[in-house]
Amino acid sequence: MNPRRSVLYMPGANERALEKAKTLDADGLILDLEDAVAPDAKEAARERVCAAASSKEYGSREVTIRVNGLDTEWHDADLRAAAQAGPAAIVVPKVNSAAEVHNIERALELGGAPDHTKIWAMVETPVAMLHAEEIAAASERLTVLVMGTNDLAKELHAEFVPGRAPLLGGLSLALLAARATGKAILDGVYNDVKDLEGFEAECVQGRQFGFDGKTLIHPAQLEPCNRIFAPSEEEITRSRKIIAAFEEAQAAGQGVVTVDGRMIENLHVENARRILALAEAIGG
């Protein structure tokens, strides 16, 4: 299991930022060739990012490259270069259909991408929300959906409000698609880097919804994000207790198991094992 509590966007044109990323406590990094790079800096950023991704200097962090969108003049060259660099994944913005996933997969294969280089599809339009399941199911190489909440809000003509009520329909559709197809899913960014209280509240909401983690735009967001998306000591202790009680009851041939007065079923045991696996992956 790869923990993906915190996945931080890093501007591909900024050499100092790419160097600093080697020291940050992020589970994953998205080395960005899209929004963070001006048009006249795209080619230089591509070379810099691909060199960074292939350097093996980022430790256990999951290093990915975000290419420019499918409808841009830089997309094909980005994909070819990223395929050769062989990052953990290639993040593709504004994926709207299964056919687009198939095209991306074919391009990676033609570009010589190693098997470990996966596809992370950004879903950030109404069309993507309505076709999220077919996007997620389009390829085994696609392993993660990434919410693009800024673009989704723009497309919906929605306002940014605490609790994100205007976006909940889209968030729920994408989450359902990810879980139905066995893929991971990351929540979108929080724009106000100075509002850590609001950021923490949105992390809590994202975890309660079922997101695996959150994409971030500033290192100051790392600590609260890692903390909130990690199992608490209380959850770990309870999970161990549930598994032990269930296994003891099975060995004794008992059909009913209770822990602290609550009936325990297979679904509770599966969830407990997932929590412990995540805790071990984070600790390891």
pLDDT (mean) for 187-198: 97
Name the residue ranges covered by the structural domains of the chain.
Answer: 6-229, 233-283
Query: Rg (Cα) of the chain, in Å, rounded?
Result: 20
Residues 20-42 have pLDDT tens digits of 999 999 999 999 999 889 999 99
Q: Which pLDDT score is estimated for 168?
A: 97
pLDDT (mean) for 47-52: 96
| Residue numbering of the annotated binding site for substrate | 66, 124
Q: Which pLDDT score is estimated for 144?
A: 98
Decide if pLDDT at 256 tops 80. Answer: no
Q: What is the pTM of this model?
A: 0.94
Listed range (3-7, 47-51, 266-270) with the worst mean pLDDT: 266-270
Q: Which pLDDT score is estimated for 228?
A: 98
Decide if pLDDT at 259 tops 90. Answer: no
Cα 20 to its chain centre, rounded Å, is: 21
Decide if pLDDT at 119 tops 90. Answer: yes
How is domain 6-229 classified at the architecture level of CATH? Alpha-Beta Barrel (3.20)
Residues 87-108 have pLDDT tens digits of 999 999 999 999 999 999 999 9
Decide if pLDDT at 7 tops 90. Answer: yes
Mean pLDDT of all residues belonging to the chain = 95
Beta strands 257-259 and 262-264 are antiparallel
Where residue 283 falls among pLDDT bands split at 50, 70, 90? confident
Task: Quickly tell me which residue has 């359902």 as its tokens.
Answer: 176
Contacts 24+ apart (CB under 8 A), 126-129: 126/152, 126/155, 126/156, 126/170, 127/96, 127/97, 128/94, 128/95, 128/96, 128/174, 129/169, 129/170, 129/173, 129/174
Residues 156-187 have pLDDT tens digits of 999 999 999 999 999 999 999 999 999 999 99
| Residue numbering of the annotated binding site | 66, 124, 151
| Residue numbering of the annotated binding site for Mg(2+) | 124, 151
Q: Which pLDDT score is estimated for 284?
A: 57
